[in-house]
Amino acid sequence: MQPNTLLDAVLAEAGMSHAGLAAHVNAAGRARGLRLRYEHTAVARWLKGQRPRGQVPDLICEVLTARLRRPVTLDDIGLGVSGEPAGAHTGSLTGFVERATALWRCDEQQRPGVRAVPAVTGTPAVMPVWEWENPPEDADVSREGRHRVTDADIALLRAARTHYEQMYRKTGGVATRGRVVGFLNAEAAPLLRGGYTDATGRLLHRATAALVAIAGICAYDSDAHGLAQRYFHQALRLAKASGDRALGAYVIALLVNQSLFLREHRQAIAFAEAALRAAGADLTPALASDLHAMQAKAYARLGDGTNARVCIRRAEDAAARIRRGSEPEETGYVQPGLIDVQVAEALLSLGDLRAAGEHAAAAVDRPAHDRGRVHRLALLSEIELRRGNADTAAVTAVRMAEQARGMESRRVRDRLRTVREQLVRSGCAGTAEAAELIDGALRVPM
How far is 390 from 386, CA to CA, in rounded Å? 8
pLDDT digits (tens, 9 = 90+) for 98-141: 889 988 988 998 876 788 888 988 998 999 999 999 999 999 99
Query: For residues 374 and 400, is the Cβ–Cβ distance under 8 A?
Result: yes
Q: How far is CA 277 from CA 138, 213, 245, in A?
A: 20, 21, 11
Predicted local confidence at residue 279, as pLDDT: 94
How far is 255 from 263, CA to CA, in rounded Å? 12
Predicted local confidence at residue 164, as pLDDT: 97
**Sequence letter at residue 97:** V
Predicted local confidence at residue 90, as pLDDT: 45
Predicted local confidence at residue 82, as pLDDT: 46
The count of other CB atoms within 10 Å of the CB of residue 150 is 13
How far is 207 from 161, CA to CA, in rounded Å? 8
Predicted local confidence at residue 83, as pLDDT: 38
pLDDT digits (tens, 9 = 90+) for 46-64: 988 899 988 999 999 999 9
Bond preceding residue 136 cis, omega within 30 of 0: yes
DSSP 66-83: HHHTS---TGGGT-STTS
Q: Name the 3-class secondary structure at 354.
A: helix
How far is 307 from 272, CA to CA, in rounded Å? 14
Q: What are the domain boundaries of the chain?
A: 5-86, 89-243, 269-365, 369-446
Q: What is the pLDDT along the chain (446 residues), one digit of tens a residue?
A: 678 888 888 888 788 999 999 999 999 999 999 999 999 999 999 988 899 988 999 999 999 999 988 888 888 888 875 434 344 444 588 888 988 998 898 899 887 678 888 898 899 899 999 999 999 999 999 999 889 999 999 999 999 999 999 999 999 999 999 999 999 999 999 999 999 999 999 999 999 999 999 999 999 999 999 999 999 999 999 999 999 999 999 999 999 999 999 999 999 999 999 999 999 999 999 999 999 999 999 999 999 999 999 999 999 999 999 998 899 999 999 999 999 999 999 999 999 999 999 999 999 999 889 899 999 999 999 999 999 998 899 999 999 999 998 888 999 999 999 999 998 888 777 788 888 889 888 886 66
Query: For residues 104 and 96, is the Cβ–Cβ distance under 8 A?
Result: no
Query: For residues 246 and 282, is the Cβ–Cβ distance under 8 A?
Result: yes
How far is 238 from 331, CA to CA, in rounded Å? 18
Query: For residues 423 and 431, is the Cβ–Cβ distance under 8 A?
Result: yes
- What is the reported pTM? 0.85
How far is 202 from 140, CA to CA, in rounded Å? 9
Query: For residues 193 and 97, is the Cβ–Cβ distance under 8 A?
Result: yes
